[in-house]
Chains A and B, each alone.
Chain A
């Protein structure tokens, strides 16, 4: 019991900062497309993150955390932090987290200007993955 508590607490406290294997947290068999409004970015190592408000089927807005590759991997794929001001509409394709939390590992993102770019996914089988 104690052990499970600890694992849970560490997993929730550290998830944003963790550097992990794709399969430990995400499920390649749960592809998902998110369309919503960007609320925040973290252009940080080892992973960049964007946060997107997406209306659910019940009409409630859910803030999804979307994991990208590293800033260097993103730059090499043509993405900069300045491409992601809060308030823009984005479409994200990726894989859902195994835990069921509103967290996604992104394979690609489409920006309001129509550009669709790979996001340096840590999924080794994804197109444009971070090698």
Chain B
């Protein structure tokens, strides 16, 4: 009986835990999925490598009009991708884009920092509800709770201004996103997100990526404001520094 209990315990991966005993996702993470080039399976283009996709069932179930808009987005992506306008990437695109992000965790919330646009996302885990009324947030409003060792996050109140990747996939302000964050091992997070958006999709759909811990000793989040780059020439950095 004791041996059985021991073997069951050792089957659980050893993961970092906070003082409250919950898995602790603090650290710098990055996706290697290449999903930012396209969530669905796709061939190479001049501006991106091929990819096997991260959508369960391969295709996003768009309504016919939304599918037309996605095609327009793809054709116009060089100018129309909000990323190329230096807009913040949004949720969840910032998590599987090609740049690292950092999580700080405490019992009442998780703070997620991104390079691109330097936004700060708060995932509240203090049993609070979404605010009243629709609010147009670039990152949505995130309220999480624990189901065992899985962090489940409910995200609403999007502004509908962001895309999901460089291929023109998108959602509206009515998106309701449910995320599942869990450790595979201490240096790998399994991230699942289910999209429900009655204005754009015919049914809910899910994507899944792995997030890897960045282990380089000098890895850090470096602010990438992007929008200010065109003004840099007016503020020459002193060559002596």
Contact = CB atoms under 8 A, between A and B. Distances in A.
Interface of A: 2, 5-6, 9-10, 13, 41-45, 71-72, 75, 80-82
B231 interface: yes
Contacts of A45: 135, 137
Contacts of A81: 133-136
B234 to A, nearest CB: 5
B159 A44 contact: yes
Contacts, number: 37
Interface residues of B, number: 11
Given A2-B234, A5-B234, A44-B159, A82 B131 contact: no
Contacts of B159: 42, 44
Interface of B is mostly: loop
Contacts of B132: 75, 80
Contacts of B231: 6, 9-10
Nearest to A10: B231
A71 B137 CA distance: 10
Give the secondary structure class of A's interface: helix
Nearest to B231: A6
A6 B230 CA distance: 10
Contacts of B137: 44-45
B135 A43 contact: yes
Contact of B134 (A2, A13, A80): A80
Kindly name the residue among B131, B132, B136 whose own CB sees the greatest number of chain A CB atoms within 10 A.
Answer: B136
Nearest to B138: A44
A30 B4 CA distance: 80
Contacts of A71: 131, 133, 135-136
A44 B136 CA distance: 5
Interface in B61-114: none
B234 A42 contact: no
Contacts of A43: 133-136
Interface centre among A2, A13, A71, A82 (most CB of B within 10 A): A71
Nearest to A49: B136
B133 A82 contact: yes
Interface in B119-153: 131-137
A118 B132 CA distance: 18
